[in-house]
Amino acid sequence: MVGSTEGSEEIGGEAPVERADRKPTAGGLAERVKRFFAPRPTAPEGDDATGEAATAEAATAGADAADGDIAEHGTVEDESVVASETDEQHDVPSVAEQTAVTVVLPVEPAGHTDDEAAPVRLDDALPDSGTVSVRGLTKSFGDTHAVDHLDLDVHAGSFYGIVGPNGAGKTTTLSMITGLLRPDEGTVTVNGIDVWSDPAAAKRTIGVLPDRLRVFDRLTGAQLLYYAGMLRGLTSGVVRSRVDDLATAFGLQDAMGRLVSDYSAGMVKKVSLAAAMIHSPRVLVLDEPFESVDPVSAARIVEILQSYVGNGGTVVLSSHSMDFIQRVCDHVAIIVEGQVLAAGPVEDVRGPVSLEERFLELAGGRQAAEGMEWLHSFSG
Distances (CA, A) of 145 to 166, 172, 192, 217, 341: 14, 10, 27, 33, 16
The minimum distance between CB 172 and ligand ATP, in angstroms, equals: 3
Residue 113 or 172: the one with the smaller Cβ distance to ligand ATP is: 172
Residue 208 or 234: the one with the smaller Cβ distance to ligand ATP is: 208
Task: Provide the b/e sequence for 103-114 (b: ≥16 CB within 10 Å).
Answer: bbbbbbbbebbb
Contact positions with ligand ATP (CB under 6 A) in 109-148: 141, 144, 146
Q: What is the dihedral of CA 350, 289, 114, 236, to 10 degrees?
A: 170
Residue 45 or 143: the one with the smaller Cβ distance to ligand ATP is: 143
The minimum distance between CB 146 and ligand ATP, in angstroms, equals: 3
Residue 282 or 331: the one with the smaller Cβ distance to ligand ATP is: 331
Binding part of the chain for ligand ATP, among 105-113, 160-168, 215-223, 371-379 by CB under 6 A, reads 160-168
Indicate whether 167 belongs to the interface with ligand ATP (CB under 6 A): yes
Q: Is the dihedral of CA 73, 79, 82, 85 positive or negative?
A: positive
Binding part of the chain for ligand ATP, among 168-176, 198-206, 258-266, 358-366 by CB under 6 A, reads 168-176
Q: Are 259 and 68 in contact (CB under 8 A)?
A: no
Indicate whether 267 belongs to the interface with ligand ATP (CB under 6 A): no
Indicate whether 90 belongs to the interface with ligand ATP (CB under 6 A): no
Residue 170 or 242: the one with the smaller Cβ distance to ligand ATP is: 170
Considering only 62, 93, 130, 164, the residue that binds ligand ATP (CB under 6 A) is 164
Residues 6+ apart with CB under 8 A from 25: none
- Nearest-angstrom CA–CA distance, 84 and 98: 10
- Nearest-angstrom CA–CA distance, 251 and 245: 10
Indicate whether 168 belongs to the interface with ligand ATP (CB under 6 A): yes
Distances (CA, A) of 313 to 282, 293, 306: 5, 22, 9
Residue 11 or 146: the one with the smaller Cβ distance to ligand ATP is: 146
The span from the first CA to the last CA of the chain, in angstroms, equals: 50
The minimum distance between CB 133 and ligand ATP, in angstroms, equals: 20
Number of residues this chain uses to bind ligand ATP (CB under 6 A): 11
- Nearest-angstrom CA–CA distance, 104 and 180: 9
Q: Are 333 and 355 in contact (CB under 8 A)?
A: no
Q: How many CA atoms lie within 13 A of 39 on its CB side?
A: 7
Residue 161 or 164: the one with the smaller Cβ distance to ligand ATP is: 164
Binding letters toward ligand ATP, positions 169-198, x by CB under 6 A: xxxx--------------------------
The minimum distance between CB 264 and ligand ATP, in angstroms, equals: 20
Q: Are 106 and 178 in contact (CB under 8 A)?
A: yes
| Closest-CA residue to 232 (of 265, 274, 291) | 274
Neighbours of 31 (CB within 10 A): 13
Residue 3 or 169: the one with the smaller Cβ distance to ligand ATP is: 169
The minimum distance between CB 332 and ligand ATP, in angstroms, equals: 14
Indicate whether 271 belongs to the interface with ligand ATP (CB under 6 A): no
Catalog residues that contact ligand ATP under the rule CB under 6 A: 141, 144, 146, 164, 166-172
